[in-house]
Amino acid sequence: MSFKRNILCIGAGYVGGPTMAMIAHKCPQYKVTVVDINPDRIAAWNSDDLPIYEPGLTEIVQSARGRNLFFSTNIEAGIRESEIIFVSVNTPTKTFGAGAGMASDLQYWEKTARQIRQNACSDKIIVEKSTLPVKTAQAMKRILTCKGDDIRFHVLSNPEFLAEGTAIRDLEDPDRVLIGSNETPEGMKARETLVEIYANWVSREKILTSNIWSSELSKLVANAFLAQRISSINAISALCEKTDAEVSEVARAVGMDSRVGNRFLNASVGFGGSCFKKDILNLVYLCRRYDLKEVADYWEGVVKINEYQKERFVLNMLNAMFNSLANKRICLFGFAFKADTGDTRESPAIFVSRQLIEERAKLVITDPKALENAAFDLKDVVEWITFEEDPYRAAMECDAIAVMTEWNLYKDLDYEKVFHSMNKPAFLFDGRNILDHKALFQIGFNVFPIGKPPLTHF
Ligand SMILES: NC(=O)c1ccc[n+]([C@@H]2O[C@H](COP(=O)([O-])OP(=O)(O)OC[C@H]3O[C@@H](n4cnc5c(N)ncnc54)[C@H](O)[C@@H]3O)[C@@H](O)[C@H]2O)c1
């Protein structure tokens, strides 16, 4: 069968896999190939046990795999065959040298650019899907064109706004798709090619185009704004705990102002995920590089409040449990950084676990999708931990439960049963404010929500 276009995506991760599966699902006229250097990941994409958990993903992959969606490790062949190449490799925070702890580590991304240049034998449109610092497209163009032959490369920026846990819904019906390009006739033509792909299922009004630098910057700013809302309400939760105000009541009153809006105003133990912290620090680094100290400090505050919130959570546990956690059994309800994903990258549960182990507590960790990742994240302290999929068994003979992830399943448990199986006094620290605190208190728990007065029997 001949396809209208050959599309390649380099990087088969949380972004590359689902985004390409959606394009293939919606556009049977295109051949979509996803490649990765990690053969295990590719094997998993080709199996019934996909490498990531995302509601609805399996169905989308199964609808297209083998028809017009392919997963492969043959990166060179993919580059040669394709006219459009999405780059969706990881761009973590640099851990060494200049900008360590802040700037993006662009080594994977640069390696990809060089590989494209080496293997390309016809003109290509390169689409930045990874989140990158402003002006990366320029560097990419320079690497691609340094060979001096007459192959032409057009670099576009098309940042991904999907959220894990709702990736399929976000891809199917996005708030917007953003495409940045050079504003030259050739750049506009390349941009139109990408617009046409999305227009197969996204209405044209939702497909925004901009200059390439605005597009790169918009992704960092979007994540910074989202994280800022979480840190704002979390900062207020600390004040609520001192003043007997209730953070959910404050959030409701503030959020009903249509200028503010009510979403993303849930106080919690803090945000996690692979992107928020990394992207804000990247923004901070850029500001410092351009000598904008005040702007950098402002955004860095968002990350500092998040660290503070996690520390506060553990200190509250310690204070509540008579300043000693040694040999107490503490059960973590959830380990994923949010519900409906198995992803644990930067999950607050990692920090909380490590702090509790420092206090010599014994942990029981339960999560419906993230236990394998949790065991990997905590492999150096694993002798302090039991992993248990069943939440009832996990809570048995524990002194406390700490809710780390807002999985729906924790809302519907039989807490009478849980309470009776625990050591007394039984504590419950709700790091996501998802449970019915009054009901838990009536059962006998000592309940410590975020940003609300505790309910204790002492
Ligand atoms: N995870 C999210 O929710 C999300 C959302 C929006 C944007 N992003 C951005 O998308 C990018 C990818 O994120 P992710 O979460 O999918 O990362 P990921 O780590 O899940 O996936 C990246 C993949 O790229 C592969 N890779 C690295 N170098 C390669 C190379 N040279 N050739 C081929 N494959 C290579 C890795 O093996 C890995 O499988 C990042 O820049 C991230 O900031 C992520």
Q: Tell me what pLDDT residue 141 has.
A: 87
Q: Tell me what pLDDT residue 317 has.
A: 98
**Mean pLDDT computed over 198-211:** 97
- pLDDT tens-digit readout, 249-263: 999 999 999 999 999
| pLDDT of 147 strictly over 80 | no
Q: How far is the CA of 13 from the centre of ligand 1 (A)?
A: 5
- pLDDT tens-digit readout, 311-360: 999 999 999 999 999 999 999 999 999 999 999 999 999 999 999 999 99
**Mean pLDDT computed over 19-43:** 98
Return the percentage of the chain with pLDDT > 90, whole number.
94
- Going by C-alpha positions, the residue among 13, 262, 268 that lies closest to residue 129 is 13
Q: Is 425 left (phi over 0), alpha (psi -120 to 50) or beta?
A: beta
Instruction: Give Cα 419 distance to the centre of its chain.
Output: 33
Atom of ligand 1 nearest to the CA of 161: 6
**Mean pLDDT computed over 207-221:** 96
- pLDDT tens-digit readout, 289-305: 999 999 999 999 999 99
**Mean pLDDT computed over 97-121:** 92
| pLDDT of 135 strictly over 90 | no
The average confidence (pLDDT) of the chain is 96
Question: For residue 236, what are its two tokens?
Answer: 């207020």
Burial of 77 (0-12, 13-18, 19+ CB in 10 A): middle
Ordered DSSP codes for 207-248: EEEEEHHHHHHHHHHHHHHHHHHHHHHHHHHHHHHHHT--HH
**Mean pLDDT computed over 132-152:** 87
Atom of ligand 1 nearest to the CA of 164: 3
Q: How far is the CA of 89 from the centre of ligand 1 (A)?
A: 4
Instruction: Tell me which residue has tokens 């590089």.
Output: 289
- Going by C-alpha positions, the residue among 308, 301, 297, 211 that lies closest to residue 267 is 308
**Mean pLDDT computed over 58-66:** 98
Give the separation between CA 282 and CA 296, rounded to whole angstroms: 10
The Cα-based distances of 139 to 116, 119, 149 in angstroms read 14, 18, 18
**Mean pLDDT computed over 254-275:** 97
Candidate from 8, 15, 20, 283 with most ligand 1 atoms within 8 A of CB, to mutate: 15
**Secondary-structure breakdown of the chain: helix, strand, coil percentages, each rounded to the nearest 5:** 45, 15, 40
Ordered DSSP codes for 20-75: HHHHHHH-TTEEEEEE-S-HHHHHHHTSSS-SS--TTHHHHHHHHBTTTEEEES-H
| pLDDT of 146 strictly over 90 | no
Q: For residue 210, give every residue at least 6 positions away whose Cβ sits within 8 Å of its Cβ, in sequence order, or none.
A: 178, 179, 180, 218
Contact 232, 270 (CB under 8 A): no
Ordered DSSP codes for 85-98: EEE-----B--SST
Give the separation between CA 61 and CA 278, rounded to whole angstroms: 29
Closest CA to ligand 1's atom 25: 11
- Dihedral sign, CA of 178, 179, 184, 188? negative
Domain-wise residue ranges, the chain: 5-202, 245-458
- Going by C-alpha positions, the residue among 361, 362, 331 that lies closest to residue 349 is 331
Q: Tell me what pLDDT residue 376 has.
A: 98
| pLDDT of 148 strictly over 80 | no
Instruction: Give Cα 241 distance to the centre of its chain.
Output: 28
Candidate from 8, 9, 14 with most ligand 1 atoms within 8 A of CB, to mutate: 14
How many CB atoms are located within 10 Å of the residue 15 CB?
A: 26
Q: How far is the CA of 88 from the centre of ligand 1 (A)?
A: 5
**Mean pLDDT computed over 8-26:** 98
Give the separation between CA 144 and CA 137, rounded to whole angstroms: 10
Instruction: Give Cα 141 distance to the centre of its chain.
Output: 28
What's the CATH fold of domain 5-202? Rossmann fold (3.40.50)
The Cα-based distances of 415 to 365, 419, 456 in angstroms read 17, 6, 16
Q: How many helices (H) and strands (E) does the chain have?
A: 17, 14
Q: How far is the CA of 450 from the centre of ligand 1 (A)?
A: 33
End-to-end Cα distance, the chain: 73
The runs of H, that is alpha helices, within 244-292 are 247-255, 276-289
Q: Tell me what pLDDT residue 243 has.
A: 95
Prediction pTM value: 0.95
**Mean pLDDT computed over 70-84:** 97
Q: Catalytic: which of 27, 275, 287, 331? A: 275
Do the domains at 5-202 and 245-458 have one common CATH topology? yes
Q: Tell me what pLDDT residue 357 has.
A: 98
Coil/strand/helix, residue 164 = coil
Q: Is 275 a catalytic residue?
A: yes
Contact 183, 154 (CB under 8 A): no
Between CA 166 and CA 174, with CA 171 as vertex, the angle to 5 degrees is 100
Length of the chain as a residue count: 458
| pLDDT of 272 strictly over 80 | yes
Find the residues whose C-beta lies inside 6 A of ligand 1. 10-16, 36-38, 41, 75, 88-91, 108, 111-112, 130-131, 160, 162, 164, 274-275
Q: Tell me what pLDDT residue 217 has.
A: 96
- Going by C-alpha positions, the residue among 241, 363, 216 that lies closest to residue 308 is 241
Q: Tell me what pLDDT residue 145 has.
A: 87
Specify whether domain 245-458 bears CATH 3.30.70.260: no
In 264-407, DSSP assigns E strands to 329-333, 362-366, 385-387, 400-403
